[in-house]
């Protein structure tokens, strides 16, 4: 716990057998109360290894996609009474040791959402990010900041921490089950004017780290542009606000036995 607030780390896993152990072993358990892994129908040993490590594990019998995985992660964390939820990829691309700092930024009451930025600190390229992804990241982020009135260094990091208030307030179930879920979620955070902070996060790129291919990246980029334009038009009263204010789209939280 931090300042009396329960911290849960969620691991949205898909074929993470080679990296889940090292990721878990580097999570700062002195402040983390629980770790939850949701496996998205992997066909490797991710589930077996996670269970051997003692991680609370939930399994999708069919692949629901990256966004669908996160929905289960957040719902299960809230069911366990989390006050702060940190989403960490189990592929060891992001440094788990930053969980403490990210959680503390929320526990302080200053921020509702904290992002681990690969852009702050200027270590992105040295960490191995492909150059086309770097430039796409910078251009898309600049466009999103313009459309949404934000000033983030990066919208596309997969390392995020949220207060339970944020997770209970947003219509996350209405979002895509694909990769664009990440962007839709941050657009909803911005829409509700939750306070967003960032922390520099060195990132490693290596063969075992998860990554989407060029085609999926393009589909994701188009989804980002669509979400950003929709946000701007909705603010101007020229498009539906349901994507951001749909009360029926809130997470269904399982009953804790």
Reading the chain (257 residues) residue by residue, the pLDDT tens digits are 999 999 999 999 999 999 999 999 999 999 999 999 999 999 999 999 999 999 999 999 999 999 999 999 999 999 999 999 999 999 999 999 999 999 999 999 999 999 999 888 766 655 567 787 888 899 999 999 999 999 999 999 999 999 999 999 999 999 999 999 999 999 999 999 999 999 999 877 655 555 677 788 889 999 999 999 999 999 999 999 999 999 889 999 988 65
Which residues on neighbouring strands pair with residue 113, listed in sequence order? 162, 196
Per-residue confidence (pLDDT) for residue 203, from 0 to 100: 78
Q: Which CATH fold would you assign to the domain 7-245?
A: Spore Coat Polysaccharide Biosynthesis Protein SpsA; Chain A (3.90.550)
pLDDT for res 207: 59
Rounded-to-integer distance, Cα 254 and Cα 152, Å: 33
Can you give the pLDDT at residue 209? 58
Q: In what order do the strands lie in the sheet with 196-200?
A: 56-60, 34-40, 7-13, 84-87, 160-163, 113-117, 196-200
Q: At what angle do helices 214-235 and 181-191 cross, to 10 degrees?
A: 20
Give residue limits of the domains in the chain: 7-245
Closest CA to 116 of 139, 92, 138, 99: 99
């Amino acid at each position: 716990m931090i300042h009396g607030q329960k911290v849960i780390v969620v691991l949205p896993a898909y074929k993470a057998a080679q990296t889940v152990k090292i990721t878990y072993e580097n999570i700062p358990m002195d402040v983390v109360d629980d770790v939850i892994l949701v496996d998205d129908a992997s066909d490797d040993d991710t589930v077996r290894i996670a269970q051997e490590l003692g991680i609370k594990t939930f399994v999708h019998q069919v692949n629901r996609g990256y966004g669908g995985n996160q929905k289960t992660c957040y719902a299960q964390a809230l069911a366990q009474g989390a006050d702060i939820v940190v989403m960490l990829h189990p592929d060891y691309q992001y440094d788990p040791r930053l969980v403490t700092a990210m959680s503390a930024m929320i526990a302080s009451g200053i921020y509702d959402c904290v992002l681990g930025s690969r852009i702050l600190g200027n270590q992105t390229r040295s960490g191995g990010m492909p150059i086309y992804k770097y430039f796409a990241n910078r251009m898309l982020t600049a466009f999103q900041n313009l459309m949404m009135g934000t000033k983030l260094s990066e919208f596309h990091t997969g390392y995020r921490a949220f207060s339970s208030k944020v997770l209970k307030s947003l219509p996350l179930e209405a979002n895509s089950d694909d990769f664009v879920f990440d962007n839709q979620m941050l657009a909803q955070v911005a829409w509700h004017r939750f306070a967003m902070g960032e922390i520099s996060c060195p990132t490693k790129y290596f063969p075992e780290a998860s990554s989407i291919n060029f085609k999926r990246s393009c589909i994701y980029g188009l989804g980002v542009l669509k979400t950003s334009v929709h946000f701007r038009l909705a603010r101007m009263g020229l498009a539906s606000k349901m994507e951001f204010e749909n009360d029926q789209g809130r997470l269904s939280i399982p009953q804790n036995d």
